[in-house]
Amino acid sequence: EDQVTQSPEALRLQEGESSSLNCSYTVSGLRGLFWYRQDPGKGPEFLFTLYSAGEEKEKERLKATLTKKESFLHITAPKPEDSATYLCAVRSFGNEKLTFGTGTRLTIIP
Amino acid sequence: DGGITQSPKYLFRKEGQNVTLSCEQNLNHDAMYWYRQDPGQGLRLIYYSQIVNDFQKGDIAEGYSVSREKKESFPLTVTSAQKNPTAFYLCASSIAPNYGYTFGSGTRLTVV
């Protein structure tokens, strides 16, 4: 059974203070790891897909990296508009669905 | 613009009542999913469908039912058998197994 654990549950940063969110996973064979952003009361918005260890993806102030056991979402010089819950999910080979973590709630203080 | 439309945004259910949540997509995706989101818990899969006229139970299917008569539509019925239906419900679709999901904006269901 696929498992995803995200840490920390919540993170408060000052504007401009860089940090990282962690996603640890256990799968029989990784088909893809996905990062989403979710604002309160809205559906998750797709950010990145990573397929193999060593892969990196970037978008504005966000950078996602992947190892064989975990993924990191690095946020550089965050702004208040980056405040949201960030969700990590995995899909394994032979599995028809994504398995989600419980998310990290990120708050950026002006 | 292509996307997934969920309606209504807010829904109130009385005890013993069945309610249906709508999910429509114009992305031409084959696979569609229903998830339930509760505070402090990850998204939990209720039902999913890979093709028209076929669907499978997810992890928490009890008290729910679905249909997939058209590729574009995947409605979810919350029956009176679901004892704790108050939650945020998310519909999603996917073009292929290597890809992630596109989500709708969600329906918040409250029992009154």
Nearest CA to CA, how far is A76 from chain B (Å)? 25
Neighbours of B76 (CB within 10 A): 22
Q: What are phi and psi of A51, to 5 degrees?
A: -115, -30
SS3 A81: helix
List the single residue in A with minimal CA-CA distance to B104.
A43
Per-residue pLDDT of chain B in tens (112 residues, 90 and over written 9): 679 999 999 999 888 899 999 999 999 999 999 999 998 888 999 999 999 999 999 999 999 999 999 999 999 999 988 889 999 999 999 987 668 899 999 999 998 8
Task: Say yes or no for a CB contact (<8 Å) between A43 and B106.
Answer: yes
DSSP A10-66: EEEEETT--EEEEEEEE-SSEEEEEEEEE-TTS--EEEEEE-STT-EEEETTEEEEE
Q: What are phi and psi of A97, to 5 degrees?
A: -140, 165
Q: Are residues A58 and A42 in contact, defined by beta-carbon separation less than 8 angstroms?
A: no
pLDDT of residue B2: 74
Give residue-wise pLDDT tens across range A46-80: 999 999 999 999 999 999 999 999 999 999 999 99
Using a 10 angstrom Cβ sphere, with 0-12 exposed, 13-18 middle and 19 or more buried, the burial of residue B27 is: middle
Nearest CA to CA, how far is B11 from chain A (Å)? 14
